[in-house]
């Protein structure tokens, strides 16, 4: 109350240093440091090319798509462990549907959406109305989806269908204008459907979170679910829809993965749910809910893909060093988060 006269609209800098964004800055900063390190060490062998940069998006687009839905689930204070299993199931449905049953892949994909969104809504309803912890509910969902995967086939099935092939091979090449004509940049860089899906989902996620009531309710629930209820917000509906939306993202990630590897395997993407969760957390989403945003998640995905890239360029390190580096990063980020949370909790006006 002492600030009755002193407090005014917050300054530009105040806004920039909003504690909720510090995590995003930290992620961007660490990304830049690693990128700069790569540029110095391996700039001469192509680390700084557009191709390398774009490939960081392409190689992880399916995790990125899943991270969009996951970010929302985490902001509500929940968690979803079923995403990778659902994505894997999508691959199986497409592979089995087109290969064995001879159904058009578009119908298989449509069917996958029904299954994925349905499972998401069901889990959301279980979490909210039966009051089962999200961890347990979605763990069940994960086993269920994995189980059905193995039921369909326990062997890897190739997806070969002209429609899928055409989608997977569709590309837009980066070109530049040289001597009066457009030529492809060297080394060749392109964006594909997965890239577009990833970026589109990030933008859609951003819009939902920042510009719709539904999105704002997600934050309110994460801030304090009991309060949100007493404020008259549709808590149940929002939670169920968030898990439904995440189911949609899982299936879309599964489609992207199917386009990437052109096969379905019941054990594919094992542990992928943790990739999505850690991307969101590195991007500043609090596991306790209420805080997070899509820009952060985008940076989180990029940060996680720059490390393997670096290892590839090094050529001598085992790829498992990537996991170790991610683990260390996660630890650092969670420590910073805890520090900021404690710091801001103590600093009241």
Using CA atoms, how far residue 117 sits from 10, 59, 216, 285, in Å, is 42, 25, 21, 23
Whether the Cβ atoms of residue 55 and residue 190 lie closer than 8 Å to each other: no
Q: Is 295 near other proteins (CB under 8 A)?
A: no
> How many helical (H) and strand (E) elements, i.e. helices and strands, does the chain have?
15, 6
CB of 279 to other proteins, least distance (A): 21
Q: How far apart are CA 192 and CA 254, in angstroms?
A: 16
- Report the candidate in 306, 134, 109 with the shortest Cα–Cα distance to residue 225: 134
Binding residues for other proteins restricted to 198-217, rule: CB under 8 A: 207, 210-213, 216-217
Q: How far is CA 275 from the centre of its chain?
A: 8
Q: Is 231 near other proteins (CB under 8 A)?
A: yes
Stretch that binds other proteins, among 12-20, 118-126, 134-142, 256-264 (CB under 8 A): 12-20
Q: Give the pair of three-digit tokens for residue 259.
A: 């386009």
Tell which one of 121, 234, 261, 313 touches other proteins (CB under 8 A). 234
Count the residues of the shown chain that bind other proteins, applying the rule CB under 8 A. 40
Q: Is 8 near other proteins (CB under 8 A)?
A: yes
CB of 75 to other proteins, least distance (A): 9
Q: Is 197 near other proteins (CB under 8 A)?
A: no
- Report the candidate in 99, 90, 98, 91 with the shortest Cα–Cα distance to residue 118: 90
Q: Is 346 near other proteins (CB under 8 A)?
A: no
Whether the Cβ atoms of residue 247 and residue 86 lie closer than 8 Å to each other: yes
Element (H, E) at 184: strand 181-184
* Minimum CB distance to other proteins smaller for 185 or for 287: 287
Q: Give the pair of three-digit tokens for residue 10.
A: 């917050």
For Cα atoms 130, 276, 137, give the angle at the middle one, nearest 5 degrees: 15
* Minimum CB distance to other proteins smaller for 14 or for 319: 14
Tell which one of 102, 232, 271, 315 touches other proteins (CB under 8 A). 232
CB of 274 to other proteins, least distance (A): 25
Stretch that binds other proteins, among 5-13, 55-63, 164-172, 315-323 (CB under 8 A): 5-13
Tell which one of 200, 230, 324, 331 touches other proteins (CB under 8 A). 230
- Binding residues for other proteins, rule: CB under 8 A, are 1, 3-5, 7-10, 14-15, 18, 20, 207, 210-213, 216-217, 219-220, 222-224, 226-234, 290-291, 344-345, 347-349
């Amino acid at each position: 109350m002492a600030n009755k006269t002193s407090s005014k609209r917050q300054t530009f800098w105040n806004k920039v240093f909003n504690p909720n964004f510090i995590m995003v800055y930290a992620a961007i900063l660490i990304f830049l440091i690693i990128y700069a390190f790569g540029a110095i060490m391996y700039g001469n062998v192509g680390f700084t090319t557009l191709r390398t940069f774009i490939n960081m998006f392409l190689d992880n687009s399916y995790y990125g798509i899943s991270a969009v839905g996951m970010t929302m689930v985490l902001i509500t204070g929940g968690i979803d462990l079923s995403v990778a299993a659902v994505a894997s199931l999508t691959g199986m449905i497409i592979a089995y549907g087109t290969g064995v049953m001879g159904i058009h892949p578009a119908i298989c994909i449509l069917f996958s959406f029904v299954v994925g969104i349905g499972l998401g809504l069901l889990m959301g309803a279980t979490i909210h109305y039966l009051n089962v912890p999200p961890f347990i509910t979605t763990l069940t969902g994960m086993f269920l989806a994995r189980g059905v995967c193995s039921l369909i086939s326990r062997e890897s099935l190739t997806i070969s269908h002209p429609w899928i092939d055409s989608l997977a091979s569709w590309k837009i090449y980066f070109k530049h204008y040289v001597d009066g004509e457009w030529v492809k940049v060297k080394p060749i860089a392109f964006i594909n459907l997965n890239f577009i899906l990833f970026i589109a989902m990030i933008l859609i996620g951003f819009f939902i979170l920042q510009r719709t009531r539904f999105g704002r309710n997600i934050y309110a629930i994460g801030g304090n679910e009991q309060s949100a209820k007493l404020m008259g917000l549709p808590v149940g509906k929002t939670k169920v829809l968030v898990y439904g939306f995440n189911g949609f993202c899982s299936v879309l990630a599964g489609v992207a993965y199917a386009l990437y590897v052109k096969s379905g395997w019941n054990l594919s993407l094992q542990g992928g749910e943790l990739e999505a969760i850690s991307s969101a957390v590195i991007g500043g989403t609090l596991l306790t809910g209420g805080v997070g945003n899509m820009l952060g998640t985008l940076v989180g995905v990029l940060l996680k893909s720059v490390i393997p890239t670096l290892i590839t360029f090094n050529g001598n390190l085992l790829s498992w060093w990537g996991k170790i580096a991610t683990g260390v990063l996660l630890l650092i980020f969670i420590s910073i988060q805890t520090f900021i949370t404690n710091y801001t909790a103590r600093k009241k006006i």
